[in-house]
Amino acid sequence: MTQRTTVVTLPLELRVIETDHTYPVKDDIWSNWYTFGLRAFERLRDELKQEGRPITSFATTGTSNGIDAIAASLVFENLQEVALIDLDERVVPVAKQNYLRYFSGKNVSAFAGSLLEPLVEKGITADLIYANLPILPNGGDLIQGYRRSSRYEKGLFAQAKTEDWIKNYLLEPYYALLLQAKDVLTPRGSVICSIGGRIPYSVIEQVIEKAGFKTQKLLTGFKVQTEPWEVLPGCADAEKDGVTFDFYRYDEAVAALRNHRLSSGKILEEPFMDLNKEELKKIIEPYKITAKQAHEMYLKNNYAKIGHVVHIVRAMKKD
């Protein structure tokens, strides 16, 4: 197996080990998920500071190379206990090694397992859980490379007995995660979900509510669709019974966003987090395409850039 060390910017420069099975770090900083996660952690930290509530325990599931836990530990200064989880057992030691390079003094445990199962089994709790999960249930050979980053075996979350409307919007993994989180979160704890905003935001809220949580949006931004060869056909297949997934012609959407001026005169820059979700979607509406159209565009030109909205949402336990 090949192994390489990649320099990432968080904005600090860090070195992480990557392998054939870890989720690849992208050169363009805003093409990654962890950068959105980092900004969301900062927003939450500032909010909790006012409430005088430090986060001391953190768990991340779907961590891959562990970079999301590094980001959390840079932001939440009081973190003591950290749990790293990934379903792919090949990445778990890599995540732990990357994490310990920067935070050898923390109490870190790393587990191979689905969602939060290892924590439930061991009775481990966390103040904050972070999740960035695959959404496509149409399997295939998941052992290859890092395919588990986008896809999961149909039936993996059967225990959650997820209703069809949630599955149709490809939110089954997040619903199953939230149900498990109830047994892991400390009182007043919360889950941060990194979710592609390819579906109406109200659906995300309804799923979180159905799982028994309150929703708080931490941020919305715009990102290029990475792994288009996996995600676009997967979402195109899921477009049925009136459900569509929103993608955008990236270059035109970004040009429109850059040309937009806030009332303060400020020029917007990637990843366009200064706008609220309604403003953002209104500006890029003319460049909106369905998953099927985006997939056709990609098949005609593999270099065509396609974008999607990102929501980082906090699900708060209703106590």
Ligand X SMILES: C[S@@+](CC[C@H](N)C(=O)[O-])C[C@H]1O[C@@H](n2cnc3c(N)ncnc32)[C@H](O)[C@@H]1O
| Site residues, ligand X (CB under 6 A) | 23, 33-34, 37, 61-64, 67-68, 85-88, 91, 114-115, 132-134, 148-149, 152, 156
Q: How far is the CB of 92 from ligand X (least distance, A)?
A: 9
The two three-digit tokens of residue 140, written as one number: 């295939």
Question: Rounded to whole angstroms, how far apart are CA atoms 157 and 308?
Answer: 26
Least distance between ligand X and beta carbon 49 (Å): 24
Ranges of beta strands (E only) in the chain are: 3-9, 13-19, 57-61, 81-86, 107-112, 126-131, 185-196, 213-224, 247-249, 288-289, 306-317
Residue 90 or 288 with smaller CB distance to ligand X: 90
Minimum CB–partner distance for residue 37 and ligand X (Å): 6
Report yes or no: 69 and 58 within 8 Å, Cβ to Cβ. yes
Of 57 and 114, the one with the shorter C-beta distance to ligand X is 114
The residue (of 108 and 115) whose beta carbon lies closer to ligand X is 115
At its nearest, how many Å lie between ligand X and the CB of residue 115?
5
By C-beta, is 23 or 272 nearer to ligand X?
23
To ligand X, the closest distance from the beta carbon of 21 in angstroms equals 8
Q: Which is nearer to ligand X, 134 or 189 (CB)?
A: 134
Task: Return the SS3 of 14.
Answer: strand
CA–CA distance, 116 with 67 (Å, rounded to integer): 18
Q: Which residue is nearest to ligand X (CB)?
A: 62
